[in-house]
Structure 1
Amino acid sequence: MGQCYGKTNPNSENDHAPNTTTTTGDGDGDRSPLPISAVGNGYNSVKNTPARSSSSQASPWPSPYPHGEGVSPSPARGTTPRRFFRRHFPPPSPAKHIRASLVKRLGKQTPKEGTIPEEGRSRSPEESVAATEEQALDKRFGYGKNFGAKYELGREVGRGHFGHTCYGRGKKGELNNKPVAVKIISKAKMTTAIAIEDVRREVKLLKALSGHKHLIKFHDAFEDSNNVYIVMELCEGGELLDRILSRGGRYTEEDAKVIVLQILSVVAFCHLQGVVHRDLKPENFLFTSRSQDADVKLIDFGLSDFIRPDERLNDIVGSAYYVAPEVLHRSYSVEADIWSIGVITFILLCGSRPFWARTESGIFRSVLRADPNFDDLPWPSVSPEAKDFVKRLLNKDYRKRMSAAQALAHPWLRDDNHPIPLDILTYKLVKSYLHATPFKCAAAKALSKALTEKELVYLGAQFRLLEPNRDGYVSLENFKMALARHATDAMSESKVLDIINTMEPLANRKMDFEEFCAAATSTYQLEALDKWEDIANNAFEHFEREGNRVISIEELAIELNLGPSAYSILKDWIRDDGKLNLFGYTKFLHGVTLRTSNPRQR
């Protein structure tokens, strides 16, 4: 089994995870017992023990891997492919701008005097730069230099290929005599500009994100000539993965809800701030204590990044079993995190992975092509609401997945004690509505009148968060102030607030709840519902009465920003009387979506 790749690094040293040995066997499978991962993250309590054969692991399930294939699992886990996919899907380099800068600064490189070039070919400019890059690297981060004066280190609790984690204790100030976790990252391991940028970005993210109950608390960052020290809150309750294993592989529905609520809450917060985590898995959620009702905290932002509302990323990162289909297609946004939460929820409820194979390529094929199995035990005894919840997170079309805030409003999780948070998705949908044609707005208004009470719960919560005036209207100022009330430094870094500028058409008018529902409703998400046909028929009846009109094929093509080549398709959308038919109405609601819209070149 190959390693996982993401950010291009020939030395595999931009990872904060242990250098876990993986198998080389092949053959695909649909499902397997859980023992998911030996991958640590440099923070959690990975046992520092010698490698063992697969037969000696303490997992309650047999390993899915044959013996004798070089498996080195940790004592409590089986193995999982590492989180950087290195073969099959080579991504664009995430450091083109870094390399270009170095080429500009250093000029075209030539082999050093006395060295022997590779036989049969000369080095390319990029390879020459890579060969001298380490000499040019600036490993100064600008962090404090007085780590030893403020903290003392205790025993090591975890080790990865890129660094290790120790217990620590504050020596002065607010943290005087209080325990902390110290992530120590070796500068000697930072052999590329990419690796340095990874560390710099992780600290920036931890520092910028603050104020959420289920987010690991960042204290400070230091450096010396040898290491970078990241000081964080200490969580002593172990990983979510360990809790799953200790329960025999699965949670009850009620216990699973408690965990999923906390996960969705912190992820919704991150997404609103313009941060995509990109490595959500049970190993990256730690319990604050050993208590059975302890809270979980999201950790390890080593693969995370800032992202604008309309931006799409294309570098392939993540952990194989949790990676979303669109990540493998190299065009994704925050919805990729939602897929990972779907995988975690599936595991919590049944103890098995929804997508499994012996090789990375097999896992990827399963993720791209296979559907989760809801027929085997224990799924027949799981509530319909829970199954619907998981299915709506594991939809291969990212446009049809619920957002984290929408998932918190799902009937399986809905709880008045856990309010639905502000959702950046509503801003994106309202922005599109404000720039739509009157005909498209009429179609959206008809659709909103067919919504059921379940959909209106979420929309009502979002509207109330905008704090409408006494007359029940919201303006551009309401949208602006709602974002500002929830802003952290991360929101400024990710440019999320810039979306307000694209909502300028709302500056001179107001929006009531009925129009807000029309603007903030996603046709794609409704299409994922079992009752979509009923909703569409009901909406079309409203459209016939209030918005349908005669429209030519040429005008319809202009509405959809299509050329004459689409005329042959659009003629099937229009009835003999010149108006849209039901098929045409539902297609028109979808509009045209370009998958590669606004990609970030990495």
Structure 2
Amino acid sequence: MHTRVGTPYYIAPEVLARNYNKACDLWSIGVITYILLCGYPPFNGSSDVAIFERVKRGLTSKSFPPEDWDEISNEAIEFISNLLQVDASKRMTAEEALQHNWIVKNVGDAAIADLSGLKIDGMAKKKSTKKKLNGDQLAARLKNFVGLSKLKQVSLNVLAHHLTQKEIADLKLIWEQIDTDNTGTITIAQLREALHANGHHTTEAEMKSFILGLDTDHNDVIDYYEFAASLLARNQNIRDDRIQEIFNHLDKQHHGYITVEDLTEIMGSREHAMEVLGDDFPDGKIHLDEFRARIKDI
């Protein structure tokens, strides 16, 4: 086959070269498996061109960051790595994939009779179990978010509002383990208790930094979208269409740039709006190119 088809995240390198066969489907299965286990694609980028360049390069030593993959078995990582071989001739076949230790151990004969109880590295269908919260990993994510600029924090909050429930399903499961009273918000006490119960012992200074950094609307509690925004900060590129979507949301008055008035409407006060602008935008305006340059890597 010689026509390039496929969604950017899932497309195989040989498809980009317009010379491929059914082995390209095994590459896509590798991408899907990767996403199912960590929640984001292995080859990300701010545009299709950037994604394609990473696809052609393939996996690197940084493809399985420990904060997301430490609790995933080596067999699962090996399974993905064998599927995401840039050289299609070295890629596992469908038959080999079905016989891989990770598949056999987790599925076995149940794949033929009944998949309702399938469990993969601590992840299962929602009715049978939940992904266990890791206190140290959660604290690391929160610290990363708190260290971002105010503009990046607000942008991630907007992004969290625009993602589908499917895209943030894992975040919802983590949230439900902290918001135990189902109020839609969590207090600093609930966050501290969740971190402590799951292996991370915090200091008062750390907890104060979390609440100050996460509470973007300054109402003294953390809502679901503020929390989701903090977990979206992964030091990865945001695609251009997402950047445009965030920019359009912040450009409340549709001037083609973001103003102090726009940010005041979102942040609740001019003082907080000025914190977002900082010293980077002395004219009080953020144009799309400036906005893209500052938030593309979060």
TM-score normalised by length of structure 2: 0.48
Could you say which structure has the higher helix fraction? 2
Could you say which structure has the higher strand fraction? 1
TM-score normalised by length of structure 1: 0.26
Which structure has the larger Rg over C-alpha atoms?
A: 1
